[in-house]
Structure 1
Amino acid sequence: MRTVLVTGGAGFIGSHVTQALLDRGFDVVCLDDFNDYYNPAFKRENVAPFLENPRFHLVEGDIRDRDLVFATYRQFGISTTVHLAARAGVRPSIANPRLYEEVNGVGTVNLLEAAHRFGAYTFIFGSTSSVYGINSKVPFSEEDPIAYPISPYAASKRGAELMCYTFHHLYGLKVTVLRFFTVYGPRQRPDMAIYKFTELLAKGKPVPRFGDGSMARDYTYIDDIVRGVMAAFDHEADFEIVNLGGSRTTTLQQLIELIARELGVPPLVEELPLQPGDVPITFADVSKAKRLWGWQPEVPIEEGISRFVRWFKAHRLG
């Protein structure tokens, strides 16, 4: 049975992927630094159910620490890497671009080097729809030119994608790059829009709405993302870039109204100017995932928001 390294395995997407791998009988090594980008207690809570499982191994540390990364591959005999650790967030990256390049760039290189050095030749990388920038063509296809990222976060993730290809070309690493489109669901990071809007509206406070509410996003429920990651895991590619998205758009105003309806409260809004780094729309063309793996999104935004609000009421409201 393969031993899988999940970087960022205590985070939102990482903890769900870790659960899926453990459910299938794999040994899983979670490498996470439990940084304070958001409350580390939430990440501790995410991995708490795994700690008694003998097939789960927790390594606390930073992917920028090359010695630690190499020691982890050596100690556990890693055969497959699911690289989800990242410094996330468009707006914070504008304030601290060096940190984003160090974590998302140098950290990724450390993992690629270790994967090559220790023969862990299957590498799955969690990228982002942000790499598409302001793309005038919708929906976004993996074949679209993406030479102009508009935030340090997007640039750092695109650079990491290119480095993944370089290691595939030079050393034969089998790499699948997954471009995630605005993932949401239980355990979601509290800095993300759906969580923040739900929390504010539940407390009777207005939601900060940047722009006129027409900005649109392709939201993807966590269960669909996990199925996509597992499909990449099962269908080992030489090198592929694949979109994983809900493949429909929801405007900011529609999202606010949908959350408010689920909570049974009025959709209060505070109007604010547009923010640097925000793109007007994201919209995934997922035909490649369907062609390669038979994957397509199954949870529509209405059902996903209903599930998230139920989780929020049970775990965060109080």
Structure 2
Amino acid sequence: MAKPILVTGAGGLLGDALVRLLADRGDAVHALVHRTRPDFPASVTVHHVDLARAPLDLPRVEPECIFHLAQSPHYTSFPQGANDVFMVNTWATQALLDFAASRNCSRFVLASSGGVYAPSPSPVCEDGQLASAWTQNHYVATKLAAETLAQAYRDKLAVSILRVFFCYGSRQRDTMLIPRLINSVRDGKPIHLQGPSGLSLNPVHVDDAAEAFAATRSAVGHQTVNVAGPQAIDLRTLGGVIGECVGRVPSFEERPGPSPHLIADISKMQAELAPPRLGIAEGLAEVIQNTPQ
């Protein structure tokens, strides 16, 4: 009988997609959620756990793998939400790592962020420069701390750190980047750009991100891998693609300064995990089609 798999943040965009993917493949999934009540397949065991409150009431199982995908809903609220963000991103990571080591878990997969990198005009590789203590925000600091904690357990279990770049999908909260851009174009509100083009990025569709996370199950040893989409695009061009999908002409407001870049090199993702399949136009069309106006 296959050992169970734990997924935290199972009520979120990526967690939901990963739970369904693993369940479809026949895995015994234990989904940890906070307040949400996902309509998961009957084979999925749901546990309501608040990762921001000690001590953690974790399932009494011996998991083969733990996917720690949870994110505090207060990630943009600083300093008011700083403690909640720290508890979910850093303290819960430590608690889960300790749980994994004590239960003979074979792999721990941590969802980190592409925001941990220092700004770069070229695509960033996994060994690229990280944000300094003076340039990183609180959220990034907690993610880097979680990465450091996970790496400290490398003698106890295999560790996969996946740095996700702008994951998007049709169930995403309106406060996230892609839904905000879609709503701005639909509502005739301007998209704010830093410089003439705005941020350049390669966002990843949630289905591709879930495939990449699931592929860590067959990884050998430790890994740190960027998870991003196959196509780099700037916000001005992205607004135009959205406009074509919704039948509206986007408007823009430029702010002075150079246009920033946060583009991931996905060579390791393609070689070690699963190459992304959905380009921007196809991915946005799916989101817009399945998002009520």
TM-score (norm 2): 0.90
**Is contact 1:247-1:283 (8 Å) kept?**
no
Query: Aligned partners of 2:95 and 2:228: how far apart in 1?
Result: 28
Measured at CA, do residues 147 and 49 of structure 1 come closer, stay the same or move farther in structure 2, by a change above 3 Å?
Answer: closer
Query: Aligned partners of 1:9 and 1:272: how far apart in 2?
Result: 38
Deviation at 1:101, TM superposition (A): 1.9
Determine which of 134, 138, 154 is the counterpart of 1:168: 154
Query: Aligned partners of 2:286 and 2:120: how far apart in 1?
Result: 31
**Is contact 2:53-2:87 (8 Å) kept?**
no
Q: One-letter code of the match for 1:223?
A: D
Q: Is residue 185 of structure 2 the alignment partner of residue 205 of structure 1? A: no
Query: Aligned partners of 1:29 and 1:166: how far apart in 2?
Result: 25
Q: One-letter code of the match for 1:290?
A: Q
Q: Deviations over 1:187-209 (max 9, x none)?
A: 1222112112223433x330441
Query: Aligned partners of 2:55 and 2:194: how far apart in 1?
Result: 45
Query: Aligned partners of 1:90 and 1:218: how far apart in 2?
Result: 21
- Give the aligned partner of residue 86 of structure 2: 101
Q: Deviations over 1:132-158 (max 9, x none)?
A: 03235x211111131515211111111
Q: Is residue 43 of structure 2 the alignment partner of residue 63 of structure 1? A: no
Pairing of 1:124-143 with structure 2 (within 5 A): 124-136=109-121, 138-143=122-127
Determine which of 258, 263, 268 is the counterpart of 2:251: 268
Tell me the secondary structure at the aligned position of residue 309 of structure 1. helix
Structure 1: stretches of 5+ with no match in the other structure? 35-42
Calculate percent identity across the aligned residue pairs: 25
Pairing of 1:170-249 with structure 2 (within 5 A): 172-202=156-186, 204-212=187-195, 213-235=197-219, 237-249=220-232
- Give the aligned partner of residue 12 of structure 1: 13
Q: Deviations over 1:181-240 (max 9, x none)?
A: 1111221222112112223433x33044142342212211112111111111222x3211
Tell me the secondary structure at the aligned position of residue 83 of structure 2. helix
Q: Is the helix fraction higher in 1 or 2?
A: 1
Compute the RMSD of aligned alpha carbons. Answer: 2.3
Determine which of 48, 65, 83 is the counterpart of 2:39: 48
Measured at CA, do residues 298 and 63 of structure 1 come closer, stay the same or move farther in structure 2, by a change above 3 Å?
Answer: same
Q: One-letter code of the match for 2:82?
A: P
Pairing of 1:80-91 with structure 2 (within 5 A): 80-87=65-72, 91=76
Q: Is residue 274 of structure 2 the alignment partner of residue 289 of structure 1? A: no
Q: One-letter code of the match for 1:62?
A: D
**Is contact 1:90-1:151 (8 Å) kept?**
no
Measured at CA, do residues 183 and 162 of structure 1 come closer, stay the same or move farther in structure 2, by a change above 3 Å?
Answer: same
Query: Aligned partners of 1:229 and 1:287: how far apart in 2?
Result: 15
Q: Is residue 277 of structure 2 the alignment partner of residue 311 of structure 1? A: no
Measured at CA, do residues 88 and 245 of structure 1 come closer, stay the same or move farther in structure 2, by a change above 3 Å?
Answer: farther
Determine which of 248, 257, 260 is the counterpart of 1:280: 260
Deviation at 1:272, TM superposition (A): 6.3
Q: Aligned residue pairs: how many?
A: 288
Query: Aligned partners of 1:94 and 1:254: how far apart in 2?
Result: 34
TM-score (norm 1): 0.83
Q: Is residue 285 of structure 2 the alignment partner of residue 300 of structure 1? A: no
Query: Aligned partners of 2:239 and 2:251: how far apart in 1?
Result: 8
